[in-house]
């Protein structure tokens, strides 16, 4: 009865998709438990390069069942489009199941996301405008629509009437836009319901039965620990919890089943959107790292936006691992740093003249200045290396630093974006 969680220890874009794709081969079920199609997981394997937004990263394995749990934000057209694109590119039809309790991203969620970013102007949060914040707001305002409601027209009409009552007032008086007619929304949803029907099931039962049969389950997080609404860099989090602890809720499994928590840690830092980013590298040096990072530069998998770049932040990463409850680290993108003679790593923050290794509350984070230590670079390509002992000593020392600073064993080192570019290690053994 063991579940493995694969979650981000940083701001997202750590390479969770690659790690999940790698580990999914040994799994029976892969589950997404939060978020929507607002972020992307890049996966590069024998079928080609893919940016997955809503589909779990187990979709490339024929025998894996991929589940969208009730905690996910389901954009039906986006889900169907992503699935069809995969199949058109030669991937076998994936096994997909969607919770009957999942809530649906409605067209007006996307509209309100756009209007609100427009209204906030230079105070905007850098939303991907996928409707995710208005979606989760409605969910907790008890104005959401569960996918099962699409099959009960009276209930759906009631739910939408409740939701649109306040929205149309806002549209008219705050945003000065035309109001939305319930009929047009219902017509769209009646089309969507036909498309989604084959995938809907009681995934909570499916997962509980699988646990009883000792099946191997992976739960896959979106974004990273520092984007968690409670523990992250509020008010710049995402709108659902990114933590392994939430996987139990968002997937629908007992919390005590999650035995292994793989925190995906990036060898440097990257961050999309607004908010404090203590180790940011601005100017030309940031541009160089951006160009060298990831599989084709560090640009958002969903939006194509350039990511902000920074040095490895030990303070933020240790905190990220702690709130994830990490039992092991998968360290990604180590190959990217191979061009540097010296590499900065942040070992403390200085806030109001005082040094600390504790990650502060958001108000103080804005004032934090990084305290760096310099590590020697290895100045060579390492993507071909598959054994830890074959890494240059400087790269080994970098990995050892991450393990020592965070206190969490580094079990995996990713040395390139492709599935096979991976080193399995056990430094502590």
**Site residues (CB under 6 A) for ligand GDP?**
8, 12-18, 39-42, 44, 294-295, 301, 332-333, 335-336, 414-417
Q: Which is nearer to ligand GDP, 127 or 414 (CB)?
A: 414
What is the Cα–Cα distance from 224 to 61, expressed in whole angstroms?
A: 25
Please report how close the Cβ of residue 226 comes to ligand GDP at its closest, in angstroms: 13
**CA separation for the pair 181, 167 (Å, rounded):** 11
Please say which residue, 342 or 420, places its beta carbon nearer to ligand GDP.
Answer: 420
Total residues found in the chain within this entry: 429
β strands within 142-192, DSSP E: none
Nearer to ligand GDP by Cβ, of 59 and 180: the residue is 59
* Minimum distance from residue 55 beta carbon to ligand GDP (Å): 12
Identify whether the C-beta of residue 226 lies closer than 8 Å to the C-beta of residue 10. yes
- Distance (Å, rounded) from C-alpha 51 to C-alpha 21? 12
Active site residue 13: yes
Beta bridge partners of 343: 375
For ligand GDP, give the closer residue by CB, 112 or 319.
Answer: 319
Instruction: Please report how close the Cβ of residue 385 comes to ligand GDP at its closest, in angstroms.
Output: 12
Comparing CB distances to ligand GDP, the nearer of 86 and 147 is 86
User: What order do you get walking across the sheet with 200-201 strand by strand?
Assistant: 200-201, 95-99, 65-68, 29-32, 217-224, 3-8, 258-266, 328-332, 410-414, 422-424
Catalytic residue of the set 21, 41, 53, 335: 41
As measured in angstroms, the least distance from the Cβ of 152 to ligand GDP is 35
DSSP assignment of 197-256 equals GGGEE-HHHHHHHHHHTT--EEEEEEEEGGG-TTTSSTTSS-SS--SHHHHIIIII--GG
CA distances from 326 to 98, 266, 413 (A): 27, 14, 16
> Between 406 and 414, whose beta carbon lies closer to ligand GDP?
414
Catalytic residue of the set 13, 21, 192, 313? 13
List 328's β-bridge partners, or say none: 262
CB 69 within 8 A of CB 100: no
Cβ at position 47, least distance to ligand GDP in Å? 14
Query: Quick one: 15 or 144, whose CB is closer to ligand GDP?
Result: 15
Q: Shortest distance, CB of residue 409 to ligand GDP, whole angstroms?
A: 18
Structure tokens at 210: 């699988």
Tell me if residue 44 falls in helix, strand or coil.
strand
Nearest to 56 by CA among 73, 87, 88, 33: 33
Contact 319, 360 (CB under 8 A): no
Q: b/e string for 323-359 if b means 16 or more Cβ within 10 A?
A: bbebbbbbbbbbbbbbebeebbbbbbbebeeeeeeeb
Beta bridge partners of 412: 330, 424
CB of 168 to ligand GDP, least distance (A): 36
Nearer to ligand GDP, 15 or 69 (CB): 15
Nearest approach in angstroms of CB 178 to ligand GDP is 36
Q: Which residue is it, tokens 């790690």?
A: 19
DSSP structure class, residue 428: T
Residue 378 to residue 21: CA distance in whole angstroms: 28
Q: Which residues are catalytic?
A: 13, 41
């Amino acid at each position: 009865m063991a579940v493995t969680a694969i979650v981000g220890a940083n701001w997202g874009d750590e390479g969770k998709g690659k790690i999940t794709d790698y580990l999914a081969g040994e799994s029976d079920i892969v589950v997404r438990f939060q978020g929507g199609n607002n972020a992307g997981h890049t996966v590069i394997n024998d079928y080609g390069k893919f940016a997955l937004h809503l589909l779990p990263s187990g979709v490339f394995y024929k025998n894996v069942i991929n589940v969208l749990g009730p905690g996910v934000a389901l954009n039906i057209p986006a889900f169907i489009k992503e699935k069809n694109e995969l199949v058109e590119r030669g991937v076998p039809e994936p096994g997909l199941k969607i919770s009957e309790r999942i809530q649906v991203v409605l067209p007006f969620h996307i509209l309100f996301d756009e209007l609100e970013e427009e209204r906030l102007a230079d105070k905007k949060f850098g939303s991907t405008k996928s409707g995710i914040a208005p979606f989760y707001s409605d969910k907790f305002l008890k104005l959401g629509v569960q996918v099962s409601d699409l099959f009960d027209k009276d209930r759906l009409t009631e739910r939408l009437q409740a939701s649109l009552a306040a929205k149309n007032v806002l549209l008219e008086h705050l945003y000065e836009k035309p109001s939305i007619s319930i009929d047009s929304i219902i017509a769209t949803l009646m089309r969507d319901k036909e498309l989604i029907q084959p995938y809907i099931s009681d995934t909570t039962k499916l997962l509980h039965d699988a646990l009883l049969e000792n099946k191997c389950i992976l739960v896959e997080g979106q974004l990273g620990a520092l984007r968690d609404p409670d523990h992250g860099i509020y008010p710049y989090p995402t709108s659902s919890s990114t933590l392994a602890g939430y996987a139990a809720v968002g997937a629908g499994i007992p919390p005590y089943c999650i035995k292994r928590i793989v925190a995906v840690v990036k060898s440097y830092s990257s961050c999309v959107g607004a908010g404090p980013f203590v180790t940011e590298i601005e100017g030309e040096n940031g541009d160089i790292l951006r160009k060298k990072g990831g599989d084709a530069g560090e640009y958002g998998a969903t939006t194509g936006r350039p990511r902000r770049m920074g040095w490895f932040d030990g303070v933020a990463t240790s905190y990220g691992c702690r709130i994830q409850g990490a039992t092991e680290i998968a360290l990604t993108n180590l190959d990217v740093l191979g061009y540097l003679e010296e590499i900065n790593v942040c070992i403390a923050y200085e806030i109001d003249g005082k040094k600390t290794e504790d990650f502060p509350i958001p108000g103080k984070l804005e004032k934090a200045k990084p305290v760096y230590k310099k590590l020697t670079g290895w100045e060579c390509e390492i993507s071909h290396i598959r054994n830890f002992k074959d890494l240059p000593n400087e790269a080994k020392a970098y990995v050892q630093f991450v393990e020592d600073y965070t206190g969490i064993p580094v079990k995996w080192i990713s040395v390139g974006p492709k599935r096979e570019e991976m080193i399995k290690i056990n430094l502590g053994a």
